[in-house]
Amino acid sequence: MTRSGDIPEIIPIHLFSQGILMPYTVLPLTVTDPDMITMIDHAVNGDKIIGVVAESPAGERYSVGTAAGIMKLYRFPGDVVRVTLKGLYRFRIIEDLEIDNVVSARVERLSTTYPNNVDELEAWRRSIEVQLRKIMELTPGIPDELQLITLLRDPERLGFVAASGLEAPIFRKQIFLEENNIILRFRLLRSMMNYEIQRLKLREHIEGQVRMEMEQDQKEYYLKEKMKVIQKELGGASVNPDFVELSEKLAKKELPKSAADAAEEELKRLSKLHPGSPEAGVARTYIEWILQLPWMDRTVDRLEIDEAGRILNEDHYDLRDVKDRVLEFLAVRKLNPTGKAPIICFVGPPGVGKTSMGRSIARALGRKFIRLSLGGVHDEAEIRGHRKTYIGAMPGRILQGLKEAGTSNPVFMLDEIDKIGRDFRGDPTSALLEVLDPEQNFSFRDNYLNTPFDLSAVKFITTANTLDTIPGPLLDRMEIIRIPGYTEDDKYEIARRYLVKRQVDRTGLSGKLIRFRESGLRCIVKRYTREAGVRGLERSIGAICRKHAVEVAGGIQTLVIVTEKNVPDYLGSWKYTRESSLPEPSVGVATGLAWTAVGGEILMIETLLLPGNGKLILTGQLGDVMKESAQAALSWIRSNRRDLRNNPAEFDIHIHVPAGATPKDGPSAGVAITASILSACCEKPIQNRTAVTGEITLRGAVLPVGGVKEKVLGALAAGIETILLPVENMRDLEDVPEAQRNAVKFVPISEIGQAMNHLIIWGD
């Protein structure tokens, strides 16, 4: 059966953020808000009913609430009203209205559904009654439980009154309030009451231990705190001393309207709180953050193109494309100061100067520089912050960085953006979508402040070692600038211009005590480092300086000149040896070109025929793509070469690429593998001073590959005189320095047969 009744169709609505009012319970309120007082007066002149609706933890209003009747009303001087409300029945909001400037709603009453089995209902009622007795026994200072339970024979009244006294989360009580079926409602209540009993037992246990261990000074502190609470309840709370100080600071601080409104609202809330309450600390910290952020503070950009170019050249060697892009940005900024700044992403191997280039850009612009490392960040709140209601909440690291900079237009570097993680705490890359979008970041909303902050003036720069792990939508918002690895000449120049001076200064030496010759620096580059950047090179130079510093500190004031001959005295024997070309042509050995993270180098590909039945054996830790290239090369030879001295079908073909501890993969060795197999089958030698790179197809075409600049420089260092390049790669030679380009002969190839004629020495 169901119960229902006539109710007002339209009632005023009060959004109650401190809990949930249940039917049959009483709620005393002290009201100072003018809008709330107006609503109470409106209700008093009408049906004397107010709808009380709870606010969710997310700040949203629930649609089901409790209609409350006004039982008592007292007015005090200073526009203060104390009203006592009693819950009458539940309702659901059908339509939001505003009547006489009072928030109202059209509502419908919700009825409770009872089961047909009366015994089941009585069993549940008795179970709830037993649980309620346990809670009363564990809770001191409540009315006589027998008298109270006697008044709660009605199942519906018993459920609501019992639920109102539980310290359960708001959303759980709201679920209980919205449930119409009384049996399901009792099940929810039983779960909450079990949790409450366990909590009360634990509290009783802890209080018992504390009571036994408490010393006299602890008792005095406890009593003083109790006195503060009693004074607050009697209306004698002291004035918050932070209110006047923060009010004066807000009056002097220039803020956007949205930030000023948020600060004023929180300041108004602070004025009503006791200075020692936790809520006062939260409000104070929130206002202080608003005061400390650089909402309107900006540095003036230095837009002299020549001066910016000088600074970039002073800090960095080469990196022409990066410097040109920075100068383009400055030029556009000078012609159109209100334009949106693009988001730049520097992509390259470690140690090539991505982060230091960001610092140089900030120096060229005359802006502050902030660096945020995103490596290993898993929590979205690291970017957006936590809501201020959480314990220890604070803004995200974007706003923290701006506070540190003290300006709203710094150069903000997001380092290692390719190493962001994601897990159950959220996806930080999703939060960065708004930060790194010039069309959206003018109103970036941090969870802590919950008010828009303009990030459009910030020059965001990101760095990454690879683009594979960056989500597509985030990658689409950035302009990619690739910074390749340095050549041997580049490393020498960087060491000569920057690294030597920096390490000599750091060790306290001077040019009168240690000097580096060109042969010494080049020896360190070739024999002691193998990297795309220069970090290892700088560490090696620093090691030499420190070893000599030990001698100088011991009283040996002699000048040391570092050359190729004495480098091993400081760094030990050579760590790396570079692959060089063969001294003479050899059968079955072709020279390919490889491109690794540390630069280019030659790749010797060896083929040996063994008695067998056409089995292909591959060794040297080859990847799947390289294995497929070998299979494609063998298939092409079987299909197109009928004049072979050794039939591939009658031999097992063993292909090996030395340096077996190093993984190798990629399609660019296809032509070299073909030449190696064909040379072994024909017993004809291959040119030892000629190298080749290119991908092959089964129809004999040679396709373009990547890393041409690095491969050419690696071949030149290995003594190669001629390089066969796919036709479509010839345009990539523009990136190769002119001196190196002129030192090697380049032959364009478009099909395998053409390459074989240049590589294999056919003879008569």
Active site (catalytic) residues: 668, 711
Q: With H, G, I as helix, E, B as strand and everything else as coil, classify residue 397.
A: helix
- Residue 520 main-chain phi, psi, to 5 deg: -70, -45
Sheet holding 369-373, edge to edge: 369-373, 411-415, 459-464, 344-347, 479-482
| Cα–Cα distance for residue pair 388/395, rounded to 1 Å | 9
- The distance from CA 149 to its chain's CA centroid, rounded to whole angstroms, is 55
Rounded-to-integer distance, Cα 395 and Cα 292, Å: 12
- Tell me the sheet residues that pair with 411: 369, 459
Burial category of 705 from C-beta neighbours within 10 Å (exposed 0-12, middle 13-18, buried 19 and up): buried
Of residues 170, 164, 160, the one with CA closest to residue 19: 170
Rounded CA gap, 305 and 165, in Å?
Answer: 71
| Cβ atoms 121, 31 nearer than 8 A | no
Long-range contacts of 30-33 (CB under 8 A, 24+ apart): 30/80, 30/81, 30/82, 31/80, 31/81, 31/82, 31/83, 32/79, 32/80, 32/81, 32/272
* Joined tokens for residue 462: 């990101």
- Tokens found for residue 454: 């303009």
- Helix ranges restricted to H, 293-440: 305-315, 320-335, 354-365, 381-384, 397-405, 428-435
8 Å CB contact between 331 and 397: no
How far, in Å, CA of 448 to CA of 387, rounded? 4
Integer Cα distance of 151 and 516 in angstroms: 97
DSSP class of residue 730 equals: G
